[in-house]
Structure 1
Amino acid sequence: MDLIDDDPLIDDEALIYRLFTRDIPPDHYIASEVDVTTWELMPYGRFSCITDGGGNGPGIWHTILSVNVFGNGTDEAFAYARELDRIIRNWGDPGVAVLPGLGSVESAEREQKFTRVGSVEVNGKNVTQYLGTYELTLRYQPPTSP
């Protein structure tokens, strides 16, 4: 029996990561995880996606994107948060955030503006954290045949 997959899963994390790495400044970092070397790479962003179970039409997914920004002090962290906010909201413009064979961002809305969470001393740095959330609509793009 052949299985029909009329609503395949989107790799939301890979889509968002590739868009970020395409669009952020080269001396900034972002990932979906934090490890012990993170504090040496500031400014640093960490993101996570919560994507619904589908049912929005074939290939359409609604995602809540949470982004944490860490910087050496408030000024550095806020400047990176402002840059990421601009990048994410820009993805909602038609044709801006399309990665063939993976997916696209069809809309991007700020749900919660970046807000300072706190500061802590880490390895001699005054690490300041900001958190922002966005509501995205993603569209699955099937891989193209060679």
Structure 2
Amino acid sequence: MDQTLVDWPAFLAARQELGADFIRILGYFREDGTKSVAAIEEAMRAKNATALILPAHTLKGESHQFGAEPLSVLAEQIEAVARRCVETHEAPDEVLQQVVQLRPTFEATLALLERECNPLVERRAAFGKKPVVNNQGFGRI
């Protein structure tokens, strides 16, 4: 797993805290995140700093909740610059690089989070123990 995209202890803490609601809330993150990324890209194309703020703010908070810190930081940078641009009446051109990085970072992060939640994926061993793997296969003697 890519340790740089997800803070796994934070992810596991969120999973434990949310309990049975975790998978449903991760689904909301997928839906909301997809919409937020698209809204940010559209606002950037339109050079509309005001329209960047809310989706970046939403993505920042939701990403942080799941331990997706690099994604949260990108969204936070976009939001901060957009707020400043609104105050100074400037176009948000300086966050173009962050906006370009946003979609691939979101997609890679979401893939990791969803893979971790897939019940068919072999889990990592806890506390340094080797995972038990059944190599016999289904129906073999």
TM-score normalized by the length of structure 1: 0.28
TM-score normalized by the length of structure 2: 0.29
Looking at secondary structure, tell me which structure has more helix per residue: 2
Looking at secondary structure, tell me which structure has more strand per residue: 1
- Considering only CA atoms, is the larger Rg found in Structure 1 or Structure 2? 2
